[in-house]
Amino acid sequence: MDRAELISRSARLLGRSSTVWQPTKVDVTILVPDGSSRRFFLLQAPEEQAVIAVLPPEGDERGLAEARSFYRIGRHLCWTGVSVPKVFGFDTDSGLVLCEDLGRRRLFEIVTARGPQFALPYYEAVIRELVHMQIRGAEGFDPDWCWDTPRYDRRLMQERESGYFLQACCTDFLGICYDREAVIAECAHLADQAAQAPAHFFLHRDLQSRNIMVPAETICFIDFQGGRLGPLAYDLASLLLDPYAALPETMQEHLFDVYLRVLREYIDYDPLQFRREYLFLALQRNLQILGAFAFLSQVRKKPFFLRFLQPALSSLRRLLAQPGVTSCVALNSLTDQCYQELSKRL
């Protein structure tokens, strides 16, 4: 899709006059995504609010399905009062989605520029908005809107998280030899435990500081197109273990307690049960992070992600040292091997 067609289709979706939305009058700025293969543009017409245009790769059926999910889930979250960008329109042929421009200020920029303690009030606000999204976002949610899978389950854990880690990070990226049978058995055990958590809540599945906008001191979630039904603790683990932010353990524990207090305002949930679920779901998320960052570094040739592999491995080490998972001897050994091999390369 060329520039003129992008502007023309956007004008139709917005119900704008073609005399105003002309190629010579609309500024188009290409925005650089993080790990996504989607294309992002900032469109600015005269005397109008800027909008964000998102396009999947041309000819990519999965990308088109992902765009459709972004539109449907985004509209639903807006309807349930979740703080996400307004979604203005969706072009079924090209997969073009238009949404509200929230600026460029993310939680990531705040925590990296000013430090975790300065960002604490923002994180507390994120926790409150997260619980609202998990509870209210599940109300009336249609699994048919999901482009990938309708629910976070055991199969996804083994294929997209522990399996992703073993293939993309351990084998393809680091080239490590290990006791595959023993590690897979331990990963299956972790998935069995994680799958026991109730999974009828709304799950964002990539809730980290680079997907949280902070326009005008408010909190807004983006990149929700991978949303589906799932357990509560996964998104909290994504936020607290986020390698981009590297939150101190004391701050993680504080925010964990804040989460439980806010959750009680919505539903009754056993805090001891939640803490147990959190441990196993945090392990799953940590494995997913390592697989994704290794893949993005090596296959997508995005070196930005390489620097976060070591912090993610350190986080996995700490989780595997927790009571309840110390029996994962093979996975622990593999994590140490990964850390040592990565240290040689950095």
pLDDT tens digits in sequence order for the chain, 346 residues long: 889 999 999 999 999 877 778 888 899 999 987 777 899 999 999 888 999 999 998 888 999 999 999 999 999 999 999 999 999 999 999 999 999 999 999 999 999 999 999 999 999 999 999 999 999 999 999 999 999 899 999 999 999 999 999 999 999 999 999 999 999 999 999 999 999 999 999 999 999 999 999 998 899 999 999 999 999 999 999 999 999 999 999 999 999 999 999 999 999 999 999 999 999 999 999 999 999 999 999 999 999 999 999 999 999 999 999 988 988 999 999 999 999 999 988 7
pLDDT of residue 24: 86
User: Is the domain of 29 the same as that of 172?
Assistant: no
* CA nearest to 207, candidates 122, 306, 126, 151: 126
Contact predicate 160/131, CB 8 Å: no
Domain ranges, residue 264: 107-345
Tokens, residue 105: 């200020």
User: Is the domain of 340 the same as that of 233?
Assistant: yes
10-15-21-27 Cα dihedral, nearest 10 degrees = -50
Contact predicate 96/53, CB 8 Å: yes
User: Is the domain of 326 the same as that of 253?
Assistant: yes
Domains: count for the chain? 2
Final residue before a domain boundary, out of 100, 124, 146: 100
User: Is the domain of 19 the same as that of 142?
Assistant: no
User: Is the domain of 118 the same as that of 233?
Assistant: yes
pLDDT of residue 17: 79
Q: Is this prediction's pTM over 0.85?
A: yes
User: Three-state DSSP class for 288?
Assistant: helix
pLDDT of residue 82: 97
Strand arrangement, sheet containing 39-44: 27-31, 39-44, 51-55, 97-100, 87-90
User: Is the domain of 118 the same as that of 178?
Assistant: yes
Contact predicate 320/332, CB 8 Å: yes
Give start and end residues of each alpha helix (H) in the chain: 3-14, 61-79, 107-114, 116-136, 154-156, 163-164, 180-194, 232-240, 249-264, 271-298, 309-320, 329-345
User: Is the domain of 216 the same as that of 254?
Assistant: yes
Partners of 55 in the beta sheet?
Answer: 39
CATH classification at residue 125: 3.90.1200.10
User: Is the domain of 127 the same as that of 45?
Assistant: no
User: Is the domain of 22 the same as that of 49?
Assistant: yes
User: Is the domain of 49 the same as that of 140?
Assistant: no
Contact predicate 35/300, CB 8 Å: yes
pLDDT of residue 204: 98
Contact predicate 302/291, CB 8 Å: no
Final residue before a domain boundary, out of 100, 132, 157: 100
Terminal CA-CA length for the chain = 40
